Amino acid sequence: MAFYKSSWFKYLKNFIIGIGAAVVMMGALFKIQSWEGGSEMLTYGLVTEAILFTLLGVLPPDKDYYWEKLYPGLDNYNAKVSPIAAGIAGGAEDALPGLNGEIVEQKLGGMLTELQSMSKSLGSLK
């Protein structure tokens, strides 16, 4: 395993990024308040951040999402993928058995009427 994939390197990288950002913010505060040492702090912090951004540009991105935990067959190209939650796979009727289509249509119809009246009101403001 490469050193940049290890947990200690990720911790160290995040720690240094945080310290660099804190130095930049403190340098900006010192500069805005015209306190002594603001220019140096700002310079050190910006140089630290520039080095870190260069390092982050060179390092490969991490694998962020673990979809293979939800869909176990994703790691294998020829695998049959099915979701773990069986109720969703059967369709909306199976997942939401108490949903009545007529009630939904009535509510959506009311919303559409309200939206049309709002559109007319906004159109008259021109």
Residue 28 placed within a domain: yes
Q: Is 27 inside any structural domain?
A: yes
Residue 91 has pLDDT above 80, yes or no: no
Helix (H, G, I), strand (E, B) or coil at 83: coil
Place of tokens 């009311």: 110
pLDDT band at 1 (very low <50, low <70, confident <90, very high): low
SS (H, E, C) 13-28: HHHHHHHHHHHHHHHH
Question: 126 lies in a domain?
Answer: no
Least trusted range by pLDDT, from 18-22, 80-84, 90-94, 114-118: 90-94
Domain extent, residue 14, equals: 3-60
Residue 73 located in a structural domain: no
Sorting pLDDT into bands at 50, 70 and 90, what band is 36?
very high
Residue 20 resides in a domain: yes
| Segment 25-40 mean pLDDT | 89
The per-residue pLDDT for range 39-86, each reduced to its tens digit, is: 888 888 888 888 888 988 888 877 777 777 777 777 777 777 666 665
Q: What DSSP assignment string belongs to 45-71?
A: HHHHHHHHHHHHHHSPPP----HHHHS
Report the distance separating Cα 42 and Cα 35, nearest Å.
12
In a domain, 108, yes or no: no
Domain count, the chain: 1
What pLDDT is attached to residue 84? 60
